[in-house]
Copies of this chain bind each other. A is one copy, B any other.
Amino acid sequence: MATQDRLIESTQELLWERGYVGTSPKAIQQRAGVGQGSMYHHFEGKPDLAAAALRRSAEQMRALAEADLAGPGTAYERVASYLGRERDALRGCRIGRMAQDPEVVADPRLRAPVEETLGWLRGRIAEVIAEGQAAGELRPGAEPADLAAAVVAVVQGGYVLARAADSAEPFEQAVRGALALLAAHRRD
Contacts and interface: CB of A to CB of B under 8 A. Distances in A.
A47 interface: no
A177 to B, nearest CB: 3
Interface SS of A by simple majority: helix
12 contacts: A19-B21, A19-B101, A22-B102, A96-B160, A96-B164, A105-B166, A115-B165, A139-B184, A146-B177, A153-B177, A155-B157, A157-B158
- Copies per assembly: 2
B160 A148 contact: no
A174 interface: yes
Count chain B CB atoms within 10 A of each CB in A99, A103, A173, A177 and give the residue with the most. A177
Interface of A: 17-19, 21-22, 92, 95-103, 105, 111, 114-115, 118-119, 122, 139, 141-143, 145-161, 163-166, 170, 173-178, 180-182, 184-185
Nearest to A101: B19
